Structure formats: structure tokens, C-alpha cells
Chain A
Amino acid sequence: EADIYQTPRYLVIGTGKKITLECSQTMGHDKMYWYQQDPGMELHLIHYSYGVNSTEKGDLSSESTVSRIRTEHFPLTLESARPSHTSQYLCASSVGGFTGELFFGEGSRLTVL
């Protein structure tokens, strides 16, 4: 069983609010990722990190930002939420070497009214 946790699981907020989605893992993994999953289920990589103080943008452009101050923590922030940000956000982590195995959290479903 993977030890990666996301909070909140569900969030409904109004336009213009600032939100932070939390992601923590207890496996000591160096690599962490944020995926956006649209209603059609397709997954798009929006951010990733190779380790502390490392953050990169993924394939899909996103207005969100991330930080990696501690190995176990990789929060995602939206400064001003809009209805177009409504989606499911999945956090994942993996070991440093190549295995192809990502461990996913249960996701945060965000609805912006």
C-alpha cells in the first residue's frame, strides 16, 4: 500500500479564492509529480520535482505553482481560482532510479464556482 496522502479530497470554492492542495509521502521518494485529470479521464503532467528545491513545469501549461522545501511535501497552489481550474488533481511520487512505477495519492477534486 502506497503511503502518499492528499488533502483535501474534495473542495468547492468561489472564483478568485487562493487554494493550496497538499501532498505528502512517507516513502522518502526523491521524485514527485502533479497530474491533472480531466472529466474524460485523460491525465496531463503539470508539475514535477526531482528533489528538494527542484521544480519543473510539465507537458500541460498550468496557472498553478508548486514548491518542494521538504522531501516529503509537494504542495500545489492556485493564487486565484477560476471555473476552468475545476478538475481532479493527482499527486504521485517515485524512487530516484528508473522503474516506471509511480505511487499515486487518492486525488483532490476541485470545483470552482
Chain B
Amino acid sequence: GNSVTQMEGPVTLSEEAFLTINCTYTATGYPSLFWYVQYPGEGLQLLLKATKADDKGSNKGFEATYRKETTSFHLEKGSVQVSDSAVYFCALSPNNAGNMLTFGGGTRLMVKP
């Protein structure tokens, strides 16, 4: 079956530090990959996505590259801000499954001033 594994949190960083949140997946075929973010008290929202190998998704200074050889989609940001504090979810969707997403367990990021 399909599965997504994320690094466990919480991840605590100082403002302007470099962020990496690891995500690896197991899936048959060529899934699409996503990062969603959940700010405190809000629902999830799409942060970025990549639909084929070697694609790089980017948004709001975050980026992630679809690596088929390592089945990974790590999230990175060069300089985090306090406002980036949230829970980040990696997800995949098999291309024949419409919008059926399989989510990872989520990683809480806390950024301190």
C-alpha cells in the first residue's frame, strides 16, 4: 500500500535558521507529492506540490524536490520566521486516485525569536 513517513517533531529553531523536514514515501507507480501546512487553530492548506520526478515545488520561500531515486520529498526553507510555526504534513496521491491523499504523521515546527 501507499505510505508517507515524516521526521518526528517538534522541530525547534531560532528565527533565520535553515529548515529541513524529511519526508519519504512508499507507493506504486509515479505518485504526485504535496506539502500541506496547518497553522494553529486553522485547517490544512496546500503549501506546494510536485507531480513528476525531479520537479521542484516552491511557495512562500519553501521548496521541495521530488526525488524518485530516494523516494523522498524533503521540505526546506533557507531562513525561517516566527510566523512559520505550524504543523507540516507531507502527502502523496497515486495518479489514478483522483484527489485521494495519504498523509504523513505531521511535523510540528516551532520558531523562536
Q: How far is the CA of A48 from the CA of B41 in the complex (A)?
A: 23
Cβ–Cβ < 8 Å partners of A107 in chain B: 43
| Interface magnitude class on chain A | 20 to 34
A27 within 8 A of B: no
Interface of A is mostly: loop
Q: How far is the CA of A107 from the CA of B41 in the complex (A)?
A: 8
Q: How far is the CA of A48 from the CA of B98 in the complex (A)?
A: 12
Cβ–Cβ < 8 Å partners of A19 in chain B: none
Q: How far is the CA of A52 from the CA of B72 in the complex (A)?
A: 37
Q: How far is the CA of A102 from the CA of B99 in the complex (A)?
A: 8
Q: Please state if B49 and A104 are interface contacts (CB–CB under 8 Å).
A: no
Cβ–Cβ < 8 Å partners of B34 in chain A: 100
A90 within 8 A of B: yes
Closest to B50 in A: A100
Q: Please state if B44 and A98 are interface contacts (CB–CB under 8 Å).
A: no
Q: How far is the CA of A105 from the CA of B102 in the complex (A)?
A: 18
Interface of B is mostly: strand
B11 within 8 A of A: no
CB distance from A3 to the nearest CB of B (A): 12
Interface 1/0s, chain A 73-102, versus B by CB < 8 A?
000000000000000001010100011111
Q: How far is the CA of A48 from the CA of B97 in the complex (A)?
A: 13
B25 within 8 A of A: no
Q: Please state if A98 and B99 are interface contacts (CB–CB under 8 Å).
A: yes
Cβ–Cβ < 8 Å partners of A104 in chain B: 43-45
B contacts, CB < 8 Å to A: 32, 34, 36, 41-46, 49, 51, 87, 89, 93, 95, 98-103, 105-106, 108
